[in-house]
Structure 1
Amino acid sequence: MKALDAQRHAQAQIMQSLVDGLLVEGLLDDLDAVWLATTEVDDWITQLPVFEGYLGDPSKRFWHWSQGRHHGITMLLQPGIAQAWEKVPRTPVIVRYHQSGEWESLDPVAFMRRVFGAVTEDDDQALGQGEQVFLEALSDSLWQAASSVAHRVETRDLLTRDTAEHFAIMEQWASLLDRPYHPTAKAKQGLSESEYHAYMAEFNAPITLRWVAMARDQVMTGAGVDAACLMPVQWLVGDESRQVLEWEMTSRGLSRSHVAIPVHPWQHEHALPRWLEAAFAAGDCVSLESVTEPWLATSSLRSLAPTTASPHFLKLPMAIHSLGASRYLPAVKMFNGDLSARLLHQAREKDARLAEALYLCDEGKWWAYMPEGATLFDEAPRHLSAMVRSYPRTLLEDPSVRLVPMATLGTPLPGGEHHVFDDWLAQRGMAASPASVQALFGELCDGFFEINLRMLRLGMLAEVHGQNAVLVFREGRCQGLLLRDHDSLRINVARLEQNGMQDPCYCIKPGHANTLYHDSLEALLFWLQTLAIQVNLRATIDTLADHYALSIHDLWREMAVRLEAQIDAVPFDRRDRGMLKEQLFERGQWPYKRLIAPIIDRAGGPGSMPFGTSSTCNPFVRVGRQADEAVAEALTEA
């Protein structure tokens, strides 16, 4: 895609997420904007080609924000499904200058500056720190997204690729969007333009890691590290590279006193000198010069894939800022991940269907710098660690298997030239008709909901947004779900105990927000409603509807039918089944996981991804009502 087209595409994509996010979080409510039916607008709007096709549509509303006598901002909204109102896709946000009658489209940064009341550079001093942080992330998102869009991910001949090669392309594809509906998701703050191209998955550039030797008596290790698995090098390099590393360790007198772990080259250059200068000066940490096999980035920037035929992937800290948080890798997260993995394996033992269809990455092999006197919650040590993530060999070595991060399904290619469903339909001998696509989506929902509901019944729910949840397909049929990143397993202890399991005793910083423990299944359901449905499956629906010109309402109804059928099929008791149906299908409001306001409120401080909640409309109630009722309800909420 040409640079100018890529820039426009990125701006349009980010503006859609930005406006929709501001609307659902209520961040435009206090601007005194007026809502006008398409029959009530001034003549100048009716003469604009960008809105021409929508005039007279009773479901649409023009949102107009007058900014004094000189200009005003206008955009076109429509009733949504997962939220009351949304910007009409592919329509601009415009500013009109009253005196001249001229207008222009605003980019996301220009629009957000006006929302913050900082139209000119002279107004910057009035910006709060959180507003500045958000504007910087938005600006970085724009240029980085444009760079990614301009680079075409190679998706030809996917059916001829082997399982590992196909998986690598799926990761590159998913990285194009990162997280759906998040206006600053693409911002990887701290990367220069050359570093962005070198370290993002979509560019498919090999990454040569650095190695650092850490004093053995200052290392914390995971549950999977034992006498048979002492060193990361055993899992991550070939025989020749291993000999080179061992020779350097021996020649420098480090082989008995230190253990070598891989370090991302960006982290080695930018973060370690800042955070661990004293440790290197004292010899507790030593940079090595050995060069080993290159790696490839995945859709999660700090997770790397091997370029060799190996099931062992790698997760490393990177002190860049993304999604409102620093991407370090603290020992406490991996420690909690070990506890979660134990519960997940117990769940497979207690449910025969989970034993068949739930696959788990092994994430117990990890090493973290932990100097004497440090705690699990100290800042500096979390910048030097490494985790080996081992994928099941039975999947990677099976030529009939396709591993597809669910994020790929919700990420449209910039040119719209392909969707993964194209390949599945071809494998099944099905025409790309609306009925076939909807049926295939229904099958996907069946498998996804069955696994998650069976886990919920036992008292746990994984963080199944599109990056963590990987679909396992065989010959175009969904056979299971592979989970990675076990450190965010949400639980209800009472239900675990009813099913013969115990409180894992997660390590949580005193006074820190807890999102792992929940008092009831109702509370646990929050994660199914938000990350699983409002983010993951909603993005899949939007992308399928756009690619195949389908009805979004029909796909939402298909999801509702499949979800209710799985609630009936999974062996819940009567009370739980009634609670699920009431919460999911009858309540007018659902919880919503906020994205924009928490970043502004955090103002760039330390910690994990900023978190906040509010409420939005129930999508299943929305699609079950007639169009005129939905418009009336949306107007009431507006």
Structure 2
Amino acid sequence: MTAPTLPADSSGPITGTGTGTGTDTGTGNDGRRHSDADGTRSELVIRVLSALLREDVVGLRSAGTLVHRPDGAWLQRGASQGRLLLLPVVEDGFQCEYAARLPLLVEESADSAPVAHETCDMILAALRVLADPADRDGFDAFAEECRQTLATMRLQASAHDEVTAHLAERHGSSPADWTGLAEGLAFDTLAAHLDHPVYPTARGRSGLDARQLRAYAPEFQPRIALRWLAVPRDAVIGSLPEHWPTPALLGLAELELTHVALPVHPLTLGAPLDGALRATGLTDRAVLADRAHLEAVPTLSMRTVALSADPSLHVKLPLATATLGLRNRRTIKPGTLVDGAAGQRLIERIILREPRFRNTILHADETVYAHAGHELLAALFRRYPVGLQDSVVVPMAALLAEAPGGRLVVDHLADRFFGGDCVALLDACLTLLLDWQTTLFGYGIALESHQQNVSLVLDLRPDGRTRLRLLLKDNDGPRINSRRLRERLGADAPGTADFDDPRTFVESDGPVVDLFTTITVHLCAGAYAFGLARHGRAPLPVLLRLVRDRLAEAIERLGTGAGEPGAVLRAQVLDAARLPVKAMVTAGTLLTKERSGASDINKHYTTGPNYLLGAGGSA
């Protein structure tokens, strides 16, 4: 069965938002001017304004004063020369007290009529004036990021119905029946149409045009033919999977004994690949095969593809693009391959010490990788566990996505596995997830295991009862309190020599708590409480009490005596007045690392309200 035919489009760079007011939103994918009749622009503007408020960009939050007008609450922030900026807000609570209520920023002054800024371009131009001159280029870059995202959102919307119909035809109408790893790739397609819980422009990918997105992005579930580079054996570090293609198979028989074949994403061909070969001195030694070989399907991360002939093998390939911020490039630094394998070995060691997780925490193998000393000349070969052919394997990122027919994925899963009770599904997930992640914290470890990196594995036992397991991947980027780890593992504890990134090991709980809170608590627990409540599946207080109860139970198992890890989590998460919150726009695009002070753009924080504080009682 072939992939769906999508609407024709130009192949120029994706741009979108104009600078006019009213309903005009600028040039869309078809080159025409669009109104905001579909609400896409408004949706994006509200998300962008809410993120800027949450991250306190140019003091929107800290220098703002709450005022009440007949239509509702507004945040008022002084600008310059008697001007005021006014942002309409509504109470929120998920990582910020308020969120944008309308897609609007109003500029007022005593001697002129109010000016309504209704597009991202206009809003960022107004805020740019308040920024330090050294930071203004970042506002321009974020404006372009917003244009790309708006156009991508419209592109996705234009193809959504056809894509979901194709998924239903290929896999069946109910996602609860999409069993096995091959069928599970459809969940990645659905998740790609959903916004990130925090980053407002996550659907944008810098520098890619509409044709490239249709051909390679997961939201369209295309089929990709991999390209291949024959690289001298002496230039490659690492190893390749068994029965891997050789130069001879790719039409380069003369290189069979001297070279190995590295897969290359088609989007990396051309200038990006040429630059990498020049940088490594391989221009005259590496040979690009003329023929493509092996069909693959993009996963949610886009740079990782699953082989059609062997969907248990995912190949992570570098891309010369960026998502979640201009500086969050989708290349693969060789050191992250080392760290991912080291992280996996550490996790496996802990599972052996914690028997209750041996049958509930599954792990993809990420110890096979190869690189030629450059972030565009690398590949990770991720092998999934065997025995999943009868299980539904769904990334957490897909739970709130719209399935074929319009219902949420979580509704279908709840129907089959939890008697139609979405809250019971969330409860089972949180019970295992928080037990696991707090156990890791007891060893001094927090993982970057966000919604994309954790999958639910669901199946029915012979007696009809549901079995739920977690499947994890991507273990680079943890934070490890070396003191706690040494206390628990002694001589078996890995050290700085085992990881490439010197930021991995810290000497206190603080950075570990920050990562645990922003990833596990916010993205993998709180986001679902607020999300399910927004969709009307249960009252928000009930869902937040559920999160707090399950987290409290997991913390109690750690011990809450003075200095014990449970006491730390209770004080700094459960009972803290404020919690760390990712400042992803600030660190990823608006400010340079020198200006933001971020040593890691994915671990740069502001603070927000603790939505668990008011969740007393029992769910």
> Quick one: which of 40, 55, 58 aligns to 1:25?
55
Distance apart, 1:623 and its partner CA: 4.1
Separation in 2, partners of 1:62, 1:216: 63
SS at match of 2:251: helix
TM-score using structure 1 length: 0.79
Indicate yes or no: 2:264 matched with 1:234: no
SS at match of 1:474: strand
SS at match of 1:486: coil
Matches for 1:387-402 after TM superposition, within 5 Å: 387-395=380-388, 397=389, 399=390, 401-402=391-392
Distance apart, 1:288 and its partner CA: 0.6
Q: Deviations over 1:571-607 (max 9, x none)?
A: 6767333332222222212122211221222279999
Give the corresponding residue for 2:438. 453
SS at match of 1:620: coil
Indicate yes or no: 2:614 matched with 1:602: no
TM-score using structure 2 length: 0.82
Q: Deviations over 1:209-243 (max 9, x none)?
A: 1100000011110xxx3xxxxx45725xxxxxx58
Structure 1 segments unaligned to the other structure (5+ residues): 47-54, 226-230, 236-241, 371-380, 626-638
> Quick one: which of 337, 362, 377 aligns to 1:384?
377
Give the corresponding residue for 1:555. 543
SS at match of 1:394: coil
Conserved? CA contact 2:250–2:291, under 8 Å: no
Indicate yes or no: 2:320 matched with 1:308: no
Separation in 1, partners of 2:54, 2:191: 25
SS at match of 1:472: strand
Give the corresponding residue for 2:452. 467
Separation in 1, partners of 2:190, 2:509: 35
> Quick one: which of 87, 107, 110 aligns to 2:122?
110
More helix by percentage? 1
Percentage of pairs with the same residue:
21
Label 1:298 to 1:9 Cα distance change in 2 as closer, same or farther (>3 A): farther
> Quick one: which of 166, 172, 179 aligns to 1:162?
179
Indicate yes or no: 2:103 matched with 1:92: yes
Matches for 1:582-597 after TM superposition, within 5 Å: 582-597=571-586
Label 1:280 to 1:195 Cα distance change in 2 as closer, same or farther (>3 A): farther
Give the corresponding residue for 2:196. 179
Indicate yes or no: 2:397 matched with 1:404: no
Distance apart, 1:12 and its partner CA: 3.4
Give the corresponding residue for 1:630. none
Matches for 1:282-301 after TM superposition, within 5 Å: 282-301=283-302
Matches for 1:231-380 after TM superposition, within 5 Å: 231-232=240-241, 234-235=243-244, 242=245, 245-246=248-249, 248-250=251-253, 253-277=254-278, 282-324=283-325, 325-370=328-373
Distance apart, 1:165 and its partner CA: 3.8
Q: Deviations over 1:461-512 (max 9, x none)?
A: 2212111111222249462221111212322222222222312425777xx8
Separation in 2, partners of 1:247, 1:177: 38
Label 1:612 to 1:489 Cα distance change in 2 as closer, same or farther (>3 A): closer
Question: What CA RMSD, in Å, does the superposition of the two structures yield over aligned residues?
Answer: 3.5
Conserved? CA contact 1:7–1:146, under 8 Å: no
Corresponding letter in the other structure for 1:345: E
Structure 2 segments unaligned to the other structure (5+ residues): 1-5, 8-27, 29-33
Distance apart, 1:415 and its partner CA: 9.9
Corresponding letter in the other structure for 1:347: I
SS at match of 1:169: helix
Give the corresponding residue for 1:568. 556
Separation in 2, partners of 1:499, 1:603: 35
Corresponding letter in the other structure for 1:36: V
Matches for 1:476-487 after TM superposition, within 5 Å: 477=466, 479-487=468-476
Corresponding letter in the other structure for 1:307: S
Give the corresponding residue for 1:36. 67
Q: Deviations over 1:236-275 (max 9, x none)?
A: xxxxxx588436231xx10111000110011022411223
Conserved? CA contact 2:442–2:566, under 8 Å: no
Label 1:367 to 1:83 Cα distance change in 2 as closer, same or farther (>3 A): closer
Distance apart, 1:207 and its partner CA: 0.9
Label 1:408 to 1:592 Cα distance change in 2 as closer, same or farther (>3 A): same
Worse-superposed segment, 144-153 or 8-17: 8-17
Separation in 2, partners of 1:247, 1:21: 48
Indicate yes or no: 2:505 matched with 1:517: yes
Conserved? CA contact 1:141–1:187, under 8 Å: yes
Label 1:347 to 1:27 Cα distance change in 2 as closer, same or farther (>3 A): same
Conserved? CA contact 2:402–2:409, under 8 Å: no
Label 1:195 to 1:404 Cα distance change in 2 as closer, same or farther (>3 A): same
Separation in 2, partners of 1:7, 1:364: 49
Label 1:414 to 1:474 Cα distance change in 2 as closer, same or farther (>3 A): closer
Worse-superposed segment, 161-170 or 356-365: 161-170
Corresponding letter in the other structure for 1:388: F
Corresponding letter in the other structure for 2:483: A
Label 1:595 to 1:203 Cα distance change in 2 as closer, same or farther (>3 A): same
SS at match of 1:369: strand
Indicate yes or no: 2:218 matched with 1:207: no
Q: Deviations over 1:500-544 (max 9, x none)?
A: 2312425777xx8x5421323454122121112223323322331
Corresponding letter in the other structure for 1:387: L
Indicate yes or no: 2:217 matched with 1:217: no
Conserved? CA contact 2:496–2:505, under 8 Å: no
Q: Deviations over 1:144-199 (max 9, x none)?
A: 22222332142633234332243111111222236322123222112122112211
Separation in 2, partners of 1:23, 1:303: 33
SS at match of 2:579: strand
Give the corresponding residue for 1:377. none
Indicate yes or no: 2:498 matched with 1:498: no
Label 1:506 to 1:416 Cα distance change in 2 as closer, same or farther (>3 A): farther
Worse-superposed segment, 586-595 or 279-288: 279-288
